[in-house]
Amino acid sequence: MEKWRTWRGTDDIYQKPPPPPGSQTPLTNRIACCKLFTLFFELSSFSILLLFLFSSSSFTSTEAYDPLDPNGNITVKWDIMSWTPDGYVAVVTIYNFQQYRHIQAPGWTLGWKWAKKEVIWSMMGGQTTEQGDCSKFKGNIPHCCKKDPTVVDLMPGTPYNQQIANCCKGGVLNSWVQDPSTAASSFQVSVGQAGTTNKTVRVPKNFTLRAPGPGYTCGPAKIVKPSRFFTADKRRVTQALMTWNVTCTYSQFLAQRTPSCCVSLSSFYNETLVPCPQCACGCQNASQPGSCVDPKAPHIASVVQGTGQNNLAPLVQCTSHMCPVRIHWHVKLNYKEYWRVKVTITNFNYNMNYTQWNLVVQHPNFNNLTQIFSFNYEPLTPYTGINDTAMLWGVKFYNDLLSQAGRLGNVQSELLFRKDKSTFTFEKGWAFPRRVYFNGDNCVMPPPYPRLPNTSSHQRISTLGLLTTLVVAMAFLFGFA
Q: What mean pLDDT is predicted for residues 301-317?
A: 67
Name the strand (E) or helix (H) holding 80. strand 74-84
Closest CA to 2 of 18, 11, 14, 20: 14
For residues 296 and 228, the model is more confident at 228
pLDDT at position 272 over 80: yes
Strand order in the sheet with 375-380: 375-380, 389-394, 358-362, 435-438, 441-442
How many angstroms separate the CA atoms of 98 and 248, rounded? 11
* Residue-level pLDDT at 267: 93
pLDDT at position 473 over 70: no
Q: Where are the alpha helices (DSSP H) in 380-428?
A: none
pTM higher than 0.95 for the full model?
Answer: no
* Residue-level pLDDT at 51: 39
What are phi and psi for residue 27, nearest 5 degrees?
Answer: -65, -45
Closest CA to 190 of 112, 90, 79, 78: 90
How many angstroms separate the CA atoms of 95 and 79, rounded? 13
Q: What mean pLDDT is predicted for residues 453-466?
A: 49
* Residue-level pLDDT at 430: 92
Q: Can you spell out the DSSP letters for 132-192?
A: ---TT--SS--SB--SS-EEEEPPTT--GGG--TT--STT-B--TTT-GGGSEEEEEEEEE
Q: Can you spell out the DSSP letters for 100-142?
A: S--B-TT--EEEEE-SSS-EEEEEESEEES-----TT--SS--
How many angstroms separate the CA atoms of 239 and 80, rounded? 9
pLDDT in tens, 320-363: 999 999 999 999 999 999 999 999 999 999 988 998 999 999 99
User: At 449, is the pLDDT very low, low, confident or very high (cuts 50, 70, 90)?
Assistant: confident
What is the Cα 72 distance to its own chain's centre? 10
* Residue-level pLDDT at 257: 82
Q: Are 417 and 369 in contact (CB under 8 A)?
A: yes
pLDDT in tens, 82-127: 999 999 999 999 999 999 999 988 899 999 999 999 999 999 999 9
How many angstroms separate the CA atoms of 266 and 342, rounded? 10
How many angstroms separate the CA atoms of 443 and 281, rounded? 10
pLDDT in tens, 18-77: 444 444 454 445 444 444 444 444 444 444 444 344 333 333 343 467 888 888 999 999
* Residue-level pLDDT at 45: 47
Residues in the chain: 481
Indicate the SS3 state at residue 29: helix
Q: What mean pLDDT is predicted for residues 443-469?
A: 64
* Residue-level pLDDT at 421: 87
Question: Exposed e or buried b for every residue in 24-56, given b needs 16+ CB within 10 A?
Answer: eeeeeeeeeeeeeeeeeeeeeeeeeeeeeeeee
How is residue 289 annotated by DSSP?
G
Q: Which range, of 205-214, 261-270, 304-313, averages the lowest pLDDT?
A: 304-313
User: At 79, is the pLDDT very low, low, confident or very high (cuts 50, 70, 90)?
Assistant: very high
* Mean pLDDT of the residues in the chain: 82
* Residue-level pLDDT at 263: 96
* Residue-level pLDDT at 64: 60
Q: Can you spell out the DSSP letters for 423-466?
A: T--SGGGTTS-SEEEETTEEPBPPS--PPPPPHHHHHHHHHHHH
- Tell me the helices (H) and strands (E) count for the chain, helix number first: 4, 28
For residues 405 and 130, the model is more confident at 130
To 5 degrees, how large is the angle CA 324–CA 156–CA 441? 25
Indicate the SS3 state at residue 357: coil
pLDDT in tens, 120-142: 999 999 999 999 999 999 989 99
Closest CA to 183 of 192, 171, 191, 195: 171
Strand partners, 391: 360, 378
For residues 15 and 481, the model is more confident at 481
Closest CA to 186 of 205, 204, 163, 216: 163
Q: What percent of the chain has pLDDT over 70?
A: 77
pLDDT in tens, 352-396: 899 899 999 999 999 999 999 999 999 998 777 788 999 999 999
